[in-house]
Amino acid sequence: MTSRTCLSIILAAGEGTRMKSALPKVLHKIAGLPMVAHVARAAEAAGAGDLALVVGHGAEEVRKAAEKFAPRAELFVQEKRLGTADAVLAARAAIARGYDDILVMFGDTPLIDPTALAAARDRLANGAAVVVLGFRTDKPTGYGRLIEKGGRLVAIREEKDCSEEERRITFCNSGLMAIAGGQALKLLEAVGNANAKGEFYLTDIVGIASGQGLEVVATEASFESALGINNRAELAEAEAIWQQRRRREAMLAGVTLVAPETVFFSHDTEIGADTVVEPNVWFGPGVRIDPGASIHGFSHIEGATVASGSEVGPFARLRPGADLKKRAKVGNFCEVKKATVEEGAKVNHLTYIGDARVGAGANIGAGTITCNYDGYSKFFTDIGENAFIGSNSSLVAPVSIGNGGYVASGSVITEDVPEDALAFGRARQKNLPGKARELRARRAEAAKK
């Protein structure tokens, strides 16, 4: 298998009108990644060395997305919607290069299992010319049936054309297919359009290959692997299946999910063993959690790194660029963005730290904010090791607090604080005896008017 060359052709030209969206269907996301990218990943995992993406509506948008998730993909445009066989032939130039195996996939089947694709390639390696991926279901209504005789696939029959006996078949067509590279162009070019819609159907190559005495077989994939997405409801169902799979993987790898059904991962979430994740936590793209961290409930983490022994939340938000070192803590109702919280530092409650460094062992009091934006530019705040920032302080960037510096509660700091210095940045308190009574009286009188 490893020595066989493989081209994966992903059909992504559908307009997806049932999605009710201006966005091309295949660019709608599962776990933060476009559906077509999930398909491309599965193809690569099954050993497809080269990738051809056939696009139509929204070609430029799909092209831009492809550059991010599959930079080596070659794009082909299906100029007119003339059926699935015509779509595959849009990649004629790639097919003609002479691959051992051709995988034909769909950009709206994001849950396809790479092992099912690899199994289909194995059948090609053992002499099959065409391999159709099927699935079994107790509710086959609406699906094309796979008609087998003597271990060979002889036809794919649409339900409306099935006999009563054939309607009882529960082995159904997923649409995914593997074709021997040496036979691919010959079979595809033999497909005609003598049907009610005047389209060229890829499924017709089953009968064509059988008629030429070539071996045609079916292999089985799970129903979930074959699940195609046509509307927002099905998109949500696919998301739920993906999340369920990922949660199980995480738990089997040693991660504790207290309420698994309430935790949501992204396609690239990395999470280490012995990490405990409490209920209602959302991981966006670009998150790495090292082993032994604690993620408390209702936290939202995106583009962040959390080192071993660190604590996040509850009700914390880590935005892109947040980097928590070992045993750091970002507590309840805190937000950290593009900032490093070094070893043992604490950002405990009701605090915003952005464009900053919090030194090792530092303590940030409740209600502290780094004032990093002046309406035009962002500025950096540097807080030294073992510094103490009193509650309700505002650090107006650019500013630095030296190692061991102490900022009194309620201060507005606009100048650098040297090492081990105590900084007050607030107006002197003044008490006016009896003035509160007078103020209340004046306001009560004014309210009567």
Active-site annotation, residues: 349
Question: How do 101-106 and 171-180 pair as beta strands?
Answer: antiparallel
The dihedral over CA atoms of 147, 149, 153, 155, expressed in degrees to the nearest 10, equals -40
User: How many CA atoms lie less than 13 Å away from 214 in the CB half-sphere?
Assistant: 21
Residues 424, 425, 429: CA angle, nearest 5 degrees: 85
Q: Report how far residue 352's alpha carbon sits from residue 358's, in angstroms, rounded to the nearest whole number.
A: 12
Are the CB atoms for 143 and 160 separated by under 8 Å? Answer: no
Q: Please choose, from the candidates 107, 133, 96, the residue with its C-alpha nearest in 3D space to the C-alpha of residue 54.
A: 107
Q: Report how far residue 15's alpha carbon sits from residue 23's, in angstroms, rounded to the nearest whole number.
A: 9
DSSP 14-51: ---GGG--SS-GGGSEETTEEHHHHHHHHHHHTT--EE
Burial of 439 (0-12, 13-18, 19+ CB in 10 A): exposed
Paired with 324 in beta bridges are: 306, 341
Q: Please choose, from the candidates 52, 47, 63, 54, the residue with its C-alpha nearest in 3D space to the C-alpha of residue 5.
A: 47
Instruction: Mention every residue, 6+ apart, whose C-beta is less than 8 A from residue 156.
Output: 132, 144, 145, 146, 147, 173, 203, 206
DSSP 186-235: HHHHT----STT----TTHHHHHHHHTT--EEEEE--TTTT----SHHHH
How many CB atoms sit inside 10 A of residue 373's CB?
12
